[in-house]
C-alpha cells in the first residue's frame, strides 16, 4: 500500500511516499528555518504562508522521486494534531483535496505518533510493545506503546518542552534558532560540572517533568554575569545545561521502563538528535539490558516519512477520516 504523507504542523513542509509503513520511496522536506530565524522563533502566520507556497510543489516532487504516478497512490495521510493551527490547516486541506481527487482514503495522523513511527523506518524488527520518550520542540512525554495504535501517556512536561528549553537557552546566549544544534556544538568544548542547574521532580507523578525552572536558571545566570561583569563560560553553561536536561530525562525513562516491564525503549523527536542525550541513553540501557532504539538524525526532526509510516498502521486499525476532517492545536495521543 503506497501512502502519500503530508506534514505541516510547524516550520517544515514535508511530503513523502511510504510503502506498507516501512519502506520510504521518497521523503521531501522544505524547511522554513531561515524565514523564522531572524525573529528567534517560529512566527505562526509566516509558517502557514510558507506551507501554502511549498506544499503542492513538494507533493509533485515526492511523486517524482518515488517514481510513481498519482494513480498509484492508495491513500493520503496527514498530520492533523497537535501543532500550529494555521500550519496544520494548510496540510489538512491539501490532503483532503488530494484524497478527494484521487478517490482514495484519507488517514489522519497524530504528530507524536508519527515521531514514534520514525523508528519503524529505521528498525525493521521493531514492533510494539515498547516504552517511548518523545522529545521535541513542543512536546516532552513518556508513552506506553502497547500496539501500533494503542498508546497511553504516563508522564509529560508540566510546562516547557525539552526542545523549547534548548531554543530559549540558545536565544539568551545569542545563538541562532532552532537552538538545539548550536547549543550542542557549543557544549562540545565545555565542562558539564562547571554550573549546577536544577532538575525538577513533580510531587504527584514521578514520570511528569518540568523544565521551566531550568530555563529560568539559565537566563538568570546569563543576566547575572552580564550585570556583574563576571565572565561567563558559555561552553560550560551549554554542557551543564545539556547534562541537566539529560539527567532529567534518562533516569526517569529508565525507571518507567523497569517499573512497567518494557525491555524495548524508543526515543523520538527533534531533541533525540542530541549526542549527549543519545550516549547517556545508550550507556544507561546497555548496563541494564534494555534494547534502545533512536532514529538516525535525519529522522529525528519533522518529516513526511514518519507520518506515512504511522498512517499505514492507522489504516489497518480502520482509522480513516471524511472530508469534514479538521485540525487541532492540542490533542491527547
Ligand atoms: O521534532 P522537531 O523537529 O519538531 C517538533 O515536532 O517540535 O523538534 C524540534 C526541536 C527544536 O526545539 C530543536 O532545537 C531541537 O528539536 N533539536 C535539538 C537538536 N536538534 C534539534 N535539541 C538538542 N540537540 C540537538 N542536536
Torsion sign, CA atoms 109, 114, 116, 117: positive
Determine the pLDDT at residue 38. 87
CA 75/CA 52 separation, integer angstroms: 21
190 lines ligand 1 (CB under 6 A): no
DSSP H or E run through 249: helix 234-260
| CA 262 to ligand 1 center in whole angstroms | 26
pLDDT of residue 301: 95
- The whole-angstrom separation of Cα 224 and Cα 326 is 47
CB of 138 within 6 A of ligand 1: the answer is yes
Q: Which residue puts its alpha carbon closest to atom 2 of ligand 1?
A: 270
Q: Compute the distance from residue 5 Cα to the ligand 1 centre, in Å.
A: 21
Share of the chain above pLDDT 70, in %: 100
Rounded-to-integer distance, Cα 188 and Cα 168, Å: 19
Pairing, β 12-19 against β 2-7: antiparallel
| Ligand 1 and 269: CB distance under 6 A | yes
- What atom in ligand 1 is closest to the CA of residue 166? 14
Predicted confidence (pLDDT) per residue in 56-95, tens digit: 999 999 999 999 999 999 999 999 999 999 999 999 999 9
Which residue from 271, 281, 297 has its CB within 8 A of the most atoms of ligand 1, so it is best to mutate?
271
Please report which confidence band the pLDDT of residue 41 belongs to, taking 50, 70 and 90 as the band edges: confident
Query: For ligand 1, is residue 274 a contact (CB within 6 Å)?
Result: yes
Domain boundaries for CATH 3.30.420.40 within the chain? 2-116+301-316, 127-299
119: left (phi over 0), alpha (psi -120 to 50) or beta: alpha
Q: Assess whether the C-beta atom of 295 lies below 6 angstroms from ligand 1.
A: no
CB 55 within 8 A of CB 46: no
Strand partners, 12: 31
CATH architecture of the domain formed by 2-116+301-316: 2-Layer Sandwich (3.30)
More confident residue, 34 or 65: 65
- Establish whether residue 12 lines the binding site of ligand 1, counting it when its CB lies within 6 angstroms of any ligand atom: no
CB 111 within 8 A of CB 261: no
Q: Which three cell numbers stand for residue 110?
A: 497524530
Inter-residue contact 116 to 128 (CB < 8 Å) = no
Rounded CA separation 214/41 (Å): 19
Which fold would CATH assign to domain 127-299?
Nucleotidyltransferase; domain 5 (3.30.420)
Ligand 1 binding pocket mutation candidate from 10, 113, 166 (most atoms within 8 A of CB): 166
pLDDT over 90, % of the chain: 97
C-alpha span between 8 and 88 (Å, rounded): 5
pLDDT digits (tens, 9 = 90+) for 267-320: 999 999 999 999 999 999 999 999 999 999 999 999 999 999 999 999 999 999
**pTM of the predicted model as reported, rounded to 2 decimal places:** 0.96
Choose which residue among 118, 137, 157, 302 to substitute to test ligand 1 binding: the one with the highest number of ligand atoms within 8 A of its C-beta: 137
Amino acid at each position: 500500500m503506497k501512502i502519500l504523507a503530508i506534514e505541516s504542523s510547524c516550520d517544515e513542509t514535508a511530503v513523502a511516499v511510504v510503502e506498507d509503513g516501512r519502506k520510504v520511496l521518497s521523503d521531501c522536506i522544505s524547511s522554513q528555518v531561515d524565514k523564522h530565524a531572524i525573529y528567534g522563533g517560529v512566527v505562526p502566520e509566516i509558517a502557514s504562508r510558507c506551507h501554502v507556497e511549498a506544499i503542492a510543489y513538494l507533493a509533485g516532487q515526492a511523486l517524482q522521486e518515488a517514481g510513481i504516478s498519482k494513480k498509484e497512490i492508495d491513500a493520503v495521510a496527514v498530520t492533523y494534531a497537535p501543532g500550529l493551527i494555521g500550519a496544520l490547516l494548510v496540510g489538512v486541506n491539501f490532503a483532503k483535496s488530494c484524497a478527494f481527487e484521487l478517490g482514495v482514503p484519507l488517514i489522519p495522523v497524530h504528530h507524536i505518533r508519527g515521531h514514534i513511527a520514525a523508528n519503524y523506518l529505521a528498525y525493521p524488527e521493531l514492533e510494539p510493545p515498547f516504552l517511548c520518550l518523545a522529545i521535541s520542540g513542543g512536546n516532552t512525554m513518556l508513552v506506553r506503546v502497547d500496539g501500533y495504535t494503542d498508546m497511553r501517556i504516563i508522564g509529560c512536561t508540566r510546562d516547557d518542552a525539552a526542545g523549547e528549553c534548548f531554543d530559549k537557552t540558545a536565544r539568551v546566549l545569542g545563538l541562532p534558532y532552532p537552538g538545539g544544534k548550536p547549543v550542542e556544538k557549543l557544549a562540545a568544548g565545555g565542562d558539564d560540572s562547571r554550573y549546577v542547574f536544577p532538575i525538577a521532580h513533580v510531587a504527584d507523578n514521578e514520570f511528569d517533568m518540568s523544565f521551566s525552572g531550568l530555563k529560568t536558571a539559565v537566563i538568570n545566570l546569563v543576566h547575572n554575569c552580564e550585570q556583574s561583569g563576571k565572565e561567563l563560560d558559555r561552553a560550560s553553561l551549554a554542557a551543564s545545561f545539556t547534562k541537566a536536561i539529560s539527567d532529567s530525562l534518562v533516569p526517569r525513562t529508565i525507571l518507567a521502563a523497569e517499573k512497567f516491564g518494557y525491555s524495548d525503549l524508543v526515543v523520538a523527536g527533534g531533541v533525540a538528535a542530541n549526542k549527549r542525550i543519545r550516549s547517556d541513553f545508550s550507556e544507561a540501557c546497555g548496563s541494564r539490558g534494555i534494547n534502545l532504539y533512536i532514529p538516525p538524525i535525519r529522522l529525528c526532526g519533522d518529516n513526511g516519512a514518519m507520518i506515512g509510516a504511522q498512517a499505514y498502521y492507522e489504516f489497518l486499525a480502520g482509522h480513516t477520516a471524511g472530508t469534514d476532517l479538521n485540525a487541532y492545536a492540542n490533542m491527547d495521543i
